[in-house]
Structure 1
């Protein structure tokens, strides 16, 4: 394990487990759930934030309640994978709000995108007008998700 990683004990892990599903929990309740008093729990929270283990807090939105039920995964192959081309692609893909995730992949393609839209018609529009027009895109393959069996990136419906 790299030496720059913070050392976490069972209380730290318990705090992180609880906060990963209930980030707005008051410190007193968090302390009760992990078996510590309020002051040590608060101290640990501040340390976990300072060490970059906890990077922030956010609301988890239900995409189905927002009318964003269509999920597609897209494999992209680029025509150029030199650093400048990758940087250009990365900057451009970040500007497409419908792209929820973008991962550089080691394998038979270069990037895997997760795209969320209201329906197939909007997906086709985003694919044709925005994603296909990204710098250095050579070809793509799309896979439409039928059901999210496990997805911890948003609240369960």
Structure 2
């Protein structure tokens, strides 16, 4: 099983302020960012590049309205697999990474092994996703579905201040 390593960077107050601002507006100009954190442009750019290089900043993304891409239905699926071997986890991992509807997949503790988040057009498409794709993944023995009726909050923001 692969273990994700956390970035080893030590973040000071300015780094955290930069991260907070970029999470709120990833398109902010370096001039505006520098002004907001009290630096000149060059040192600000150097800090941002260091944060990118060290894996603290992992990317910049456009948030797209799901309905604009016919993906209004949000579902979560709890998945159990038969074998708990490293090979089984790796086979499942390899296959789930190839499913475009799946936005997130987490190996979790508890009554099931994986929690999957998927976005699709409508419930009939979910029937295909579940029956023809997820239930055919290596080792899958049981699933439990949760269909979201209303999205209250969804964010990628992580508080950067201590």
TM-score after normalising by structure 2: 0.88
Find the residue that maps to 2:66 and give its secondary structure: coil
Q: Which residue of 1 aligns with 2:19?
A: 16
Q: Distance in 2 between matches of 1:46 and 1:65?
A: 33
Q: Which residue of 1 aligns with 2:124?
A: 121
Q: Which residue of 2 aligns with 1:60?
A: 63
Displaced runs of 4 or more, over 3 A? none
Q: Which residue of 1 aligns with 2:3?
A: none
Q: Which residue of 1 aligns with 2:43?
A: 40
CA contact (8 A) 1:77 1:110 kept: yes
Q: Distance in 2 between matches of 1:135 and 1:153?
A: 30
With 90-99 and 54-63 compared, the bigger mean Cα shift is at: 54-63
Q: Distance in 2 between matches of 1:103 and 1:139?
A: 16
Deviations 1:104-140 (A, max 9, x none): 0111110000011011011111111000110100011
| Cα shift at 1:153 | 4.3
Q: Distance in 1 between matches of 2:73 and 2:111?
A: 25
CA contact (8 A) 1:60 1:153 kept: no
Find the residue that maps to 1:132 and give its secondary structure: helix
Which of 131, 145, 149 is the matching residue for 2:148? Answer: 145
Instruction: Please provide the CA RMSD for this pair.
Output: 1.5
Q: Which residue of 2 aligns with 1:75?
A: 78
TM-score after normalising by structure 1: 0.90
Deviations 1:41-86 (A, max 9, x none): 1111111112111122222222122221101111011011111111
Give 5+ residue unaligned stretches, structure 2. 1-6, 158-162
Q: Distance in 1 between matches of 2:37 and 2:151?
A: 30
Give 5+ residue unaligned stretches, structure 1. none
Q: Which residue of 2 aligns with 1:105?
A: 108
Q: Which residue of 2 aligns with 1:133?
A: 136
Q: Which residue of 2 aligns with 1:90?
A: 93
Q: Distance in 1 between matches of 2:101 and 2:52?
A: 29
